[in-house]
């Protein structure tokens, strides 16, 4: 999607580092398990310097076991690092109807994986647009095109830190 924050990231990155490229390997509806299965081949094919893992939301929607999700996040983080890539985890949130214990454990999983494997992590990047109807699609779950630059603005400072000052404006 040319309006999505990942496409906007690609454009912004190209303007600052023309030799760079962004590979969007996301699949709508994917889970951490799907990502963990697909990632090794993607790492070999693209040899990235940075991997952004934005998975888990669908695990939460399906109430998958937290331990399973955390294991998959750990597998992806370590596989990326073993391929000499830095890792940025973008945390997801589980729906509140799953209960406070589940949602807290779900949220904390990202920080736990980041801490144990020395990866970067950002909290739920959609949080600051989630409650604004004009920034969300009709489903009330996904940010719309107007929200995408705002999402990139949340991620960009951490990317600059991870990729180096040469990207700083």
Pairing of β 86-90 and β 120-122 = parallel
- Can you give the pLDDT at residue 130? 78
- Answer yes or no: are the C-beta atoms of 4 and 146 closer than 8 Å: no
Query: By the 8 A CB rule, do 85 and 110 touch?
Result: no
The pLDDT, as a whole number, for residue 132 is 81
9-50 pLDDT tens trace? 999 999 988 888 999 999 989 999 999 999 999 999 999 999
Closest C-alpha to 5, from 151, 160, 144: 151
Q: Which long-range contacts (C-beta less than 8 Å, at least 24 apart) are formed by 66-69? A: 66/102, 66/105, 66/106, 66/109, 68/32, 68/33, 69/32, 69/106, 69/109
pTM confidence score: 0.92
Evaluate whether 119 touches 77 at the Cβ level (below 8 Å): yes
DSSP the chain: -TTSHHHHHHHHHHHH-TT--------TT--HHHHHHHHHHHHHHH--SEEEE---HHHHHTT--HHHHHHHHHHHHHHHHHTT-EEEEE-----GGG-HHHHHHHHHHHHHHHHHHT-EEE--TTHHHHT-GGGB-TTSSSB-GGGHHHHHHHHHHHHHHHH-GGG--
Q: What is the pLDDT of residue 27?
A: 92
Q: What is the pLDDT of residue 6?
A: 92
- Contact indicator for 51, 80 with CB cutoff of 8 Å: yes
CATH architecture of the domain 31-167 equals: 3-Layer(aba) Sandwich (3.40)
Domain boundaries, the chain: 31-167
Extract the residue ranges of the chain whose pLDDT is less than 50.
169
Q: Can you give the pLDDT at residue 131?
A: 76
Predicted local confidence at residue 169, as pLDDT? 46
């Amino acid at each position: 999607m040319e309006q999505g924050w990942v496409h906007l990231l690609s454009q912004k990155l190209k303007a600052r580092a023309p030799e760079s490229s962004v590979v969007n390997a996301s699949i709508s509806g994917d889970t951490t398990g799907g990502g963990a299965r697909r990632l090794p081949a993607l790492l070999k094919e693209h040899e990235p310097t940075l991997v952004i893992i934005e998975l888990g939301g669908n695990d939460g929607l399906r109430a998958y076991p937290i331990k399973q999700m955390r294991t998959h996040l750990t597998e992806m983080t370590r596989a990326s690092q073993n391929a000499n890539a830095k890792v940025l985890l973008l945390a997801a949130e589980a729906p509140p109807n799953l209960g406070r214990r589940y949602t807290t454990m779900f949220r904390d999983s990202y920080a736990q994986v980041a801490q144990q494997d020395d990866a970067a992590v950002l909290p739920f990047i959609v949080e600051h647009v989630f409650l604004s109807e004009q920034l969300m699609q009709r489903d009330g779950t996904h940010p719309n095109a107007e929200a995408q630059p705002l999402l990139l603005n949340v991620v960009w400072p951490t990317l600059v830190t991870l990729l180096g000052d040469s990207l700083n404006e």
